[in-house]
């Protein structure tokens, strides 16, 4: 039987891993620059930790892990005959694979509250699993890369996260647009027009303005059950234009009677005004159609779009007021972002943004002509590695052509060889595989040439 891997999972080749490590390392360095610390949590959590935290749909998408040993011992013949898979799963499984990094993080904060220094700034990069139907761009096993600041209500945290996003994508050489909105503004809009339960319908309809035009947006709102009076009140919001400041002024007028809405305007204004003084390299835009995870976020919400590649959001996040409430410890507010590593990988591939040294493997290969020559080369191999040069010696003394083909296939830029002449001169021949140039030089000169 031919081996295979489960649907919705992937192998990564050495070249793909080099690229992924470049992404991880870049984001990691930026987080560390801002004082974030790394944590890891187990791949498995108890089902008590995971169940009921992602809604009914999320519970269905949890991968459950069978208890070890005789897992049928607690099940009666009647329960087996009943074939109620949910009830059986509850008896057969006590653990599940984590679905995201946020719930394990909340559990971590509650369990380690005594030793944590608040505000706690953490980043975490690990795989997560969802029993979803695999399709293009959607996997059952994929990586998340989250950064959160918990235990502080200050809006400086939001400002800092936007700086992190800006720094990361500047380092990648990718032009992005950072979109920002505020849950309180959306709540305010719903309050003012008296349609709290319609806020998702409203944002979905407004989002189609560019595609279907104002009349059709209004028609869609009518079909969603909004009255003509409510739609009339929404007009300044639907056709919101101008700079971020002008948009905020218009929103403030519309939300004049909503305390919550005005609080959202004030928070957004602080974030945008502070960022103006910090010289972001990418544009930040107020976008009212942004309505991420409405039941989860309570303040600022963000999303990042790549400008030069057609792809969905590549980073997102926001402020939540009660991260740890699900575990009986209310009142710990936080704000976080999640980098979409798989999509960033696709964007960098599409734009060919990887620096050459990020994907470089071996830099120097020593050819193997036999035992005597190898014994002569090995001290030089060690010296090259000490100097930080990625170095290999071909393990078998096979035909030179085969060894050179190996160097070409692995795109190794330099090859060193030693035969009778080189050994007599106490030197090596260095061949530049790109130019074909050869020179008889010492190992110290080889090191200088490669590191130059």
Is position 100 annotated in a ligand binding site?
A: yes
Residue 41 in contact with residue 104, Cβ under 8 Å?
Answer: yes
Q: How far apart are CA 315 and CA 26, in angstroms?
A: 15
Q: How far apart are CA 402 and CA 388, in angstroms?
A: 26
Give the CB-side neighbour count of residue 148, counting CA atoms within 13 A: 27
Is position 346 annotated in a ligand binding site?
A: no
**Of 302, 284, 100, 339, nearest to 183 (Cα)?**
302
Count of CB atoms situated within 10 Å of the CB of 307: 11
Rg of the chain (C-alpha set):
29
Give the pairing type, strands 120-129 and 37-38: parallel
Is position 451 annotated in a ligand binding site?
A: no
Is position 139 annotated in a ligand binding site?
A: no
Is position 101 annotated in a ligand binding site?
A: yes
**Of 49, 183, 23, 170, nearest to 105 (Cα)?**
49
Is position 292 annotated in a ligand binding site?
A: yes
Is position 130 annotated in a ligand binding site?
A: yes
**Of 262, 260, 212, 264, nearest to 238 (Cα)?**
212
Q: How far is CA 79 from CA 95, 310, 406, in A?
A: 20, 51, 61
Residue 160 in contact with residue 331, Cβ under 8 Å?
Answer: no
Longest dimension (CA), the chain: 96
Residue 195 in contact with residue 226, Cβ under 8 Å?
Answer: yes
- Three-class SS state of 425: helix
Is position 148 annotated in a ligand binding site?
A: yes
Is position 83 annotated in a ligand binding site?
A: no
Annotated binding site for L-histidine: 100-102, 130, 144, 148, 292, 296-297
Annotated binding site: 100-102, 130, 144, 148, 292, 296-297
């Amino acid at each position: 039987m031919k081996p295979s891997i489960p649907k919705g999972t992937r192998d990564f080749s050495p070249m793909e891993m080099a690229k992924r490590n470049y992404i991880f390392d870049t984001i990691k360095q930026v987080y560390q620059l801002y004082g974030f610390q790394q944590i890891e949590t187990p791949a498995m959590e108890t089902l008590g930790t995971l169940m009921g935290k992602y809604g009914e749909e999320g519970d269905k998408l949890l991968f459950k892990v069978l208890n070890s040993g005789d897992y049928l011992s607690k099940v009666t013949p009647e329960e087996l005959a009943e074939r109620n898979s949910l009830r059986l799963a509850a008896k057969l499984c006590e653990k599940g694979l984590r679905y995201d990094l946020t719930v394990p993080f909340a559990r971590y904060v509650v369990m380690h509250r005594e030793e944590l220094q608040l505000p706690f700034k953490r980043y975490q990069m690990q795989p997560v699993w969802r029993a979803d139907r695999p399709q293009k761009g959607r996997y059952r096993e994929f990586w998340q890369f989250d950064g959160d600041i918990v235990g502080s209500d200050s809006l400086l945290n939001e400002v800092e996260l936007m700086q992190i996003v800006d720094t990361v994508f500047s380092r990648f050489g990718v032009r992005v647009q950072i979109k920002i909105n505020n849950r309180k503004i959306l709540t305010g809009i719903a309050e003012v027009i008296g349609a709290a339960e319609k806020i998702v319908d409203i944002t979905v309809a407004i989002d189609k303005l560019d595609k279907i035009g104002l009349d059709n947006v209004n028609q869609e709102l009518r079909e969603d059950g909004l009255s003509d009076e409510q739609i009339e009140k929404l007009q300044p919001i639907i056709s919101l234009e101008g700079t971020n400041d002008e948009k905020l002024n218009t929103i403030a007028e519309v939300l004049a009677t909503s305390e919550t809405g005005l609080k959202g305007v004030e928070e957004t204004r602080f974030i945008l005004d502070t960022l103006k003084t910090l010289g972001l390299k990418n544009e930040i835009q107020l976008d009212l159609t942004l309505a991420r995870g409405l039941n989860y976020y309570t303040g600022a919400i963000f999303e990042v779009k790549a400008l030069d590649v057609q792809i969905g959001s590549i980073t997102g996040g926001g402020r939540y007021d009660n991260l740890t409430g699900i575990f009986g410890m209310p009142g710990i507010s936080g704000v976080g972002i999640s980098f979409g590593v798989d999509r960033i990988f696709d964007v960098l591939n599409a734009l060919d943004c990887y620096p050459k040294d990020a994907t470089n493997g071996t830099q120097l290969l020593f050819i193997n002509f036999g035992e005597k020559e190898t014994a002569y080369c090995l001290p030089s191999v060690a010296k090259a590695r000490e100097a930080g040069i990625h170095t290999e010696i071909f393990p078998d003394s096979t035909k030179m052509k085969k060894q050179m083909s190996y160097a070409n296939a692995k795109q190794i830029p330099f090859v060193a060889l030693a035969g009778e002449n080189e050994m007599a001169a106490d030197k090596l021949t260095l061949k530049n595989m790109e130019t074909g140039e050869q020179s008889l030089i010492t190992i110290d000169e080889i090191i200088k040439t490669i590191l130059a």
